[in-house]
Amino acid sequence: SVVSDYEVTVSAPSGMTVITSGKTTRITPSGSSRIWTIFAPVVRDFALVAGSDFEVVSEDADGIAVNSYYSDGDINSGEEALDAGVKAILAFENEFGKYPYPEIDIVLTYLDAGGMEYPNLVMISNVLEAEFGDDSLLKIVVAHEVAHQWFYGMVGDNQFTEAWLDESFASYSELVYKETYLSDEEIGAEIDDMEAALDPEGID
C-alpha cells in the first residue's frame, strides 16, 4: 500500500460534475468539454466519480472542507451525509489526530455495498435514506467510511489481503462516533438490540 502523489487530467462533457481524490487545481474549457486537472498528494490510490445531475452542500469542519454530493434532488440525504461527515471528522480528529488533507468529498451514488472508501473521497449507496438521527444507518455508514481516512489512508495496510485490519478499526470508529454524539440511553438501547439479535431464541 504505497503512498504516492497523483496528478490526473480528465476530459468530461461540459455538463458533468467530476468528483475525485485530491483537489481540482484547474478546469479548462475545450470545445464542448472541459479538462479537469487534479492533484492528489500523499495518497495510496485515486478514485473518481462523474455525473451530470450532482448537487452539493458543503460545510467547514475545523478548517476541512466537507462536501456532500447527491442527485435526484435528495437534499435530505445530502444534508444528513454532510452532517455525519462533519461530526465524524471532528470526533476522529479528537480521538486519532488531525485529518491531513484540505477536503473530503462524500458522494451518494450507485453502489451495491453500503459504502466504499478512497483517499479524500467516500462513496455512499444512494439507497440509504435520511432518518434524521445521529444513529441512522446513513450516518453510521458515512462515519465508518470517513474513519478509513485514518485507517488505511494514514495507517496503511493491504486492503485486499488484510482487510480485517482497516475494517476492524473503522468499525471501532463507529463506536467512537456513537459515544461522542449519542446519549447513554440511545447507546443502551442499541446494546439491547444487539444482544437480542445474538440470542434469537430469547434465552436469558
Query: Which residues does the annotation mark as catalytic?
Result: 145
Contact 197, 190 (CB under 8 A): no
Contact 63, 49 (CB under 8 A): no
| Helices and strands (DSSP H and E) totals, the chain | 4, 10
Contact 108, 78 (CB under 8 A): yes
The partner residues of 17 in beta bridges, in order of sequence, read: 51
Between CA 148 and CA 27, with CA 64 as vertex, the angle to 5 degrees is 95
Using the structure block, give the residue that is written with the C-alpha cell 480528465: 10
| Cell numbers placing 129 | 435514506
Which among 12, 171, 17, 23 is positioned nearest to 109, based on CA atoms?
17
| Cell numbers placing 194 | 444487539
